Structures are given as structure tokens and as C-alpha cells.
Amino acid sequence: MPAEAAAPPHGGAASLVGATALATLLLGLVLQRHGLAFGPDAWTSWTASVSLLEGRGYCDAHGLVVHEWPPLYSLWLAAVQAVAGVSVASVRLADAIAAAVFAALACAAALRQVPEVRERWPVALAAATPALLALRGPSSEHVMHAALFALLLAVQGWQAAARPGPRAVALAAGALALAAAVATRHAALVFVPAAVLLLASTRCRPRRERAVAAAVIAGPALLLAAWIRAAFEQGAATTLFSSTREPLATAATMLRAVGEDLAPFPFGIAAWLFSVVWFARAARHPDTPDHRGAVAFVVVALLGTFALFQLVHVADEPKGRFVRFAGVIVGTLLVARVAALPQPRWRVALLLVLLLPNVLRAGKHVVVGRQGCDTVTEHGGESWLPLRATWRPGLAAGTVTTDGCVAVEAPLFRWQRQRMQVERPR
């Protein structure tokens, strides 16, 4: 990501970024018009947001302090519900806004990296479709990815700025974005070494300035992560060397998931590997933008994610929200590079191959709407809740509130029951 490749978007590019955000927001609301799927994580995040809104602290529906992940996503849900009311509809709005910001920032980052694109709308599609496909139920993924692309834009701004003042502002924005990411999910810590490498590889800056920039970006995030783990007693939730996953199986799952964010298996994996090789080889030519910094960021973050799943026990599979950033970063860059090709036939054909599968999948969900069913048990599963559902402490299930919402009961999962036997709920 050299300075000459990071010119800020302007004119039509800025309008396209705004249109991407608006379209993703509206389509995200339409896509989830039938309701949301609430798994154990979603139940905890939502009920914790209500607890924060009512001043009872960062605890779930049963009064247990949340030890599994940081509080920023629940704080975001609480902020939206403070304005729009406590309901599933407000949660849908919060996630749609976060997905819209995520898609807009991803589009802006790709356009700044490849400003010579001949057609900008394919980049917007490449950024918006992963955000829409990820919308099904409450998830902190959208907030974390929005923070990630805000970080990448800030680094691009630091690389492109010619004066110390704008560089300092870009660094401050990058530090805030990375801190927001680690305050959303512990897994976002993998972005810290990736960001440090991205800053260290910027050859247009003196070595000392790069070191200071890395410290400014990474320092607040690491301190905030340490404070969150201590303040909310979240260190006990991650025991080192507790993973039983096979390394080859983990790597295969991650690689397949990264590819599927670009295109159906196995074409997505082929496209992802081809793009990495293409960007690395193209960097040898002086007239071609150098994307090795972005590829190195993705590779280091993926290696960090792999190490995370090998070191600690993670209940979920190493796919989806854990690796979607890789497909979006590389996918938007690949689409932008293809959109810059001078040959119209090759450009149109490759763009159809890259964009059509995900556009059709997202379009189907928009037309039909996300749907689900109740499969929740004490061991997990999902609750499918309509938009008018609400939850509040002490409110009996079936109660109709003054704003027309119907109260639902939060499930009690097995691990929560076990904790209640040894901990005193709030």
C-alpha cells in the first residue's frame, strides 16, 4: 500500500461509497423482514445490552457477568435501543447500520488502493454482498469488520499524507479503530500484528517514524484488551493449550471458508490463491500498484486466527465471522484490479465470474427474506424471533408492552445453569 496508491476517493467515488452504505442498509432491513435467528451468543449480546441500558451492568438474562467477549457490541445495541426501543426490530436496525458502514468502508478502501478503475460499481457490489450474506441474526461481526476497514483506511491516509498534522490525525483514527475492533471481539487481536507489519512495510516513511506509528496504533488496543480481560474477569474464559483441533483440518476449513466468500467451492479458493500470486507478481512492475501490504495483512491475520484456534478452545468452527475479512479485502482488491483492465471483454467476463455467484445468493435472500425455525435446547440451537419481540427482566413471556411488542423468555442453557450453581447472579 504505497502512498501513490492511496489517493483519497473523490467525486464519483465518494458518491458511490455513500450509495453503497444506503443500499446495504435498506437491503439489510428488507432481507431480515421476517425476523432474526438468536443463537446462544446472540441471546447473551442482546440481553446484556438491555442490562447495560437499565444500569445493571454487563450481564446476561440470568444475571451472570459476560466472560466470553468484550462489551462494545452490546453497548452498540444498547445505544440503538435507547433511541428505537428494546425490540428485535431495533437489533435488526443496529446490525443493518453496522453492515452498511462495513460495506461502505470496504468499498472506499479498495477504491483508494486502485483509483484507476474503469468501472466503480463492481467494487461496491464486491463490498456489499458479503455484508448482506452475513446478515441473519445478531452478530458482532459487522461492528468488528467496520472497525477493521476504518483501520485500513486510516493506514492508507497515514501513508498518503505529506504533512505531519494529517499523519497524526490518521494515526489517531487508526488507533481508535483497532481499539474498537478488540473491544468487540477478542479474536480481533490477530489484527494487531497484521497492522504493525502493514505499517512497518511502508518504505516511503523513515524507520523511526514507522516504529512510532506501530506503537501508536497497537499500544492502545493492547492496553484496552488487557483492561477488558481484567475488568470483566474474561481471562478465565480462554485457557492456553486447551484446543483439541487438528492443524490440517483447521487450515482446510479456513481456506475453504475464505474461498467461499469469493465464489462457490472450489472456484473461490482458486480465485483467492490466484489473486495473492497476481498481486505479488504485479508488484515487480513500476506502473502497477503494490498490493503486497494488503496481502501481507491478510496472511498475517489468517495465521493469527489459525494460531488462536490451535492454542485455545473455541466452540465455533474457524470460518464465517472469523475469516470473512480475508475474502472481503482480497475480493474487493481483485474486483478493483479486474475493473481496471483495459480489455472490455476480459473485464466483463471476469467480473461476471467474480460477482455473479454472491450477487445471486444475496438477491435470493433479499427477495425471499431470511427465515428460520426454533431449534433451541439447553445445549444450544436457535430461537427464531419476530421483529415485534422484546425481552426485559421480570417481564413474563406473552406480555404485550405499551409499544405493541410481545415479551419472550430467554432460554437457560446448560453452561449458564452450571455457572448459576457456583456464582451468585446479579
134-186 residue pLDDT tens: 898 899 999 999 999 999 999 989 988 889 899 999 999 999 999 999 999 98
Q: Do 278 and 397 belong to one domain?
A: no
Q: How confident is the model at residue 21 (pLDDT cuts 50, 70, 90)?
A: very high
The domain boundary residue, chosen from 288, 314, 340:
340
**Helix (H/G/I), strand (E/B), else coil: 96:** helix
Overall average pLDDT of the 225-254 stretch: 82
What pLDDT, on the 0 to 100 scale, is given for residue 3? 39
How many angstroms separate the first and last alpha carbons of the chain?
49
Question: Which helix or strand (DSSP H or E) is residue 37 part of?
Answer: strand 36-38
User: Residue 420's CB: how many other CB atoms inside 10 A?
Assistant: 14
Q: For residue 401, count CB atoms less than 10 angstroms from its CB and return exposed for 0-12, middle for 13-18, buried for 19 or more.
A: middle
| pLDDT tens digit sequence for 327-366 | 888 888 888 888 888 888 888 988 888 888 889 999 999 9
Residue 146: inside a domain = no
Rounded mean pLDDT, 360-385: 90
Give the pLDDT band of residue 265 (cuts 50, 70, 90).
low
pLDDT score of 18 = 94
For residue 36, report the phi and psi dihedrals to the nearest 5 degrees: -130, 150
pLDDT, position 236: 58
Average pLDDT of 270-282?
70
Among residues 340, 364, 387, which one ends one of the domains?
Answer: 340
Residue 255 lies in a domain: yes
User: What pLDDT is recorded for position 230?
Assistant: 86
Residue 70 lies in a domain: yes
Q: Is the pLDDT of residue 42 over 80?
A: yes
User: Residue 1: its pLDDT value, please?
Assistant: 45
Contact 407, 392 (CB under 8 A): yes
Same domain, 222 and 281: no
Q: Is 317 a domain residue? A: yes
Confidence of residue 302 (pLDDT cuts 50, 70, 90): very high
* Domain boundary residue, one of 236, 262, 280: 236
Closest CA to 357 of 294, 266, 290: 266
Question: Considering only 37-51, 67-81, 148-162, 225-239, which range has the smallest mean pLDDT?
Answer: 225-239
Q: What residues make up the domain containing 118?
A: 1-139+356-426
pLDDT, residue 8, reads: 46
User: Side chain identity at 226, as an amino acid letter?
Assistant: A
Whether 244 and 288 share a structural domain:
yes
Do 15 and 39 belong together in one domain? Answer: yes
pLDDT in tens, 64-101: 999 888 999 999 999 999 999 999 999 999 999 999 99
Q: How many domains is the chain built from?
A: 3
pLDDT of residue 319: 87
Confidence of residue 13 (pLDDT cuts 50, 70, 90): confident
- Residue 180 near residue 147, CB atoms below 8 Å: yes
- 373 confidence band (pLDDT: 50, 70, 90): confident
Strands 383-385 and 36-38: antiparallel
315-326 mean pLDDT = 86
* Domain annotation covers residue 179: yes
Whether residue 37 lies inside any domain: the answer is yes
Average pLDDT, the chain: 87
Confidence of residue 290 (pLDDT cuts 50, 70, 90): low
Could you tell me if 134 and 28 lie in one domain? yes
Q: Classify strands 406-407 and 389-390 as parallel, antiparallel or unpaired.
A: parallel
Same domain, 35 and 127: yes
What average pLDDT does range 286-309 have in this prediction?
A: 79
159 is a domain residue: no
Top mean-pLDDT range of 88-102, 287-301, 373-387: 88-102
DSSP classification of residue 1: -
- Confidence class for position 7, pLDDT limits 50, 70, 90: very low
Residues 200 and 301 both lie in one domain: no
Please give the pLDDT value at position 237. 57
Same structural domain, 231 and 302: no
Cβ partners under 8 Å of residue 132, min gap 6? 24, 27, 28, 31, 99, 103, 362, 365, 366
Based on the domain organization, do 214 and 247 belong to the same domain? Answer: no
CA 242 remoteness from chain centre:
26
Give the model's confidence band at 238: pLDDT under 50 very low, under 70 low, under 90 confident, else very high: low
157 assigned to some structural domain: no
Do residue 223 and residue 246 come from a single domain? no
Is the pLDDT at 210 greater than 60? The verdict is yes
Is 44's pLDDT higher than 90? yes
Does one domain contain both 178 and 268? no
Please check whether residues 224 and 296 belong to one and the same domain. no
Average pLDDT over residues 242-267: 81
* Residue 260 pLDDT greater than 70, yes or no: yes
pLDDT at 97: 97
pLDDT of amino acid 235: 64
DSSP lists the bridge partners of residue 383 as 38
287 pLDDT higher than 60: no
DSSP letter assigned to residue 266: T
174-205 pLDDT per residue, tens:
999 999 999 999 889 999 999 998 888 887 78
